[in-house]
Amino acid sequence: MAHPAGLRAAAIVPVEASQPPAAAPWEALWRSGVLHSCAIGIRGNYDQEILAFWRQRFAGMADGQVLVDVGTGNGAIALLARQAARERGIALQIHGVDLADIDPPRDVPGGAALYEGIRFHPRTAMTHMPFADGAVALLCSQFSFEYAPHAEAAAEILRVIGPQGRAAFIVHSAESVIAEVGRAQHDACGWLLQTSGVLPATTALATAMAGATAPALRAALARDPAAEAARHAFNAEATTLMDRIEAQPAAQVLQQTAQRIAKLLAEPARTRDEAAAKVAGLRRWIEDEQARLALMQAAMLDRSALEHVVGLFGATGLPVQSGRLVYGGSVAMGWTIDVGHQRG
């Protein structure tokens, strides 16, 4: 399919890649292979009202136009855009931009074929995007804009969409279920890292089990007083963890931690150092989750913050609309923002 003359050459301009520390916790999430940040609650790609929101925005695009998904992560919105375009028999120039060092074709199973035709820009801030003035017909952002400096990000978005382009956002709401669950998750991470003794107990048991890679060797541990003491101490901490899981079902990081511990102990390490390293890796995963959740809580927009963001875009004279996104008919998921003359 043909593309408007000169659009390919004008769309991309070089910028220097950067990666501030705030991106690091997100890299751990994207490298795990999840498609989006709501993967625990929404299996596969986004569906229901979220899917409907984006498909309505994609409907106004023409063959050959440039679509940019900012804060793309592992490209969930970019994939939705490509599917919608294919159903209409058109081709879009689709780009995914993220501050983190992303590589969806590498990290997502089957990614090499899955992301065919989508170009990703890792280590790229939404305040310095590699697109020419007015080159972007539609800029999308889901749970991303709110993490950036609002005024600087809005100015850059307005630059790349120009007076004829559009931007559409789903942003975090302080009144959403995500905010509520995020607080529970963050508190659970703190409990695991600072209060609970489950990680030290796991280290003690894993190191005691090191080298017991055969059934006979594991059976012999029952006659080792130190190993038995480590097992009893671990069982006590594990019981506390299971009680916490039952009391806080929304804090799924607790259940995930229990699953990771069970897998770690089911496969004894060859050496004590290797065992300690495995538990240290689990601790780093929890620390990354805690850091990511802290960033998410700081990014939540209350109604006043939403009005401020709307004002940043509206000051240019472009029409701006905002609303509330409800998922599954009743679950508050976030705010929506539309910038520009909407089509479709």
Strands 138-142 and 118-121: unpaired
Distance from C-alpha of 195 to C-alpha of 299, rounded to nearest angstrom: 26
Distance from C-alpha of 260 to C-alpha of 253, rounded to nearest angstrom: 10
Phi, psi of 162 (to 5 degrees): 60, -170
Distance from C-alpha of 305 to C-alpha of 37, rounded to nearest angstrom: 22
* Residue 264, pLDDT above cutoff 80: yes
**Predicted confidence (pLDDT) per residue in 64-121, tens digit:** 999 999 999 999 999 999 999 999 999 999 999 999 999 999 999 999 999 999 999 9
**Predicted confidence (pLDDT) per residue in 38-74, tens digit:** 756 667 788 899 999 999 999 989 999 999 999 999 9
Quote the pTM value: 0.86
Q: What percent of the chain has pLDDT over 90?
A: 76
Q: CA of 93: how far to CAs of 3, 34, 79, 120, in Å?
A: 9, 24, 12, 11
Q: What is the side-by-side order of every strand in the sheet holding 320-327? A: 118-121, 93-97, 66-70, 138-142, 166-171, 331-339, 320-327
**Predicted confidence (pLDDT) per residue in 105-154, tens digit:** 999 999 999 999 999 999 999 999 999 999 999 999 999 999 999 999 99
**Predicted confidence (pLDDT) per residue in 280-301, tens digit:** 999 999 999 999 999 999 999 9
Average of per-residue pLDDT across 4-22: 48
Domain boundaries along the sequence of the chain: 7-176+300-339, 179-296
* Residue 9, pLDDT above cutoff 60: no
In Å, how far from its chain's centre is CA 32? 10
Domain 7-176+300-339 has CATH 3.40.50.150: yes
Average of per-residue pLDDT across 296-324: 95
* Residue 13, pLDDT above cutoff 80: no
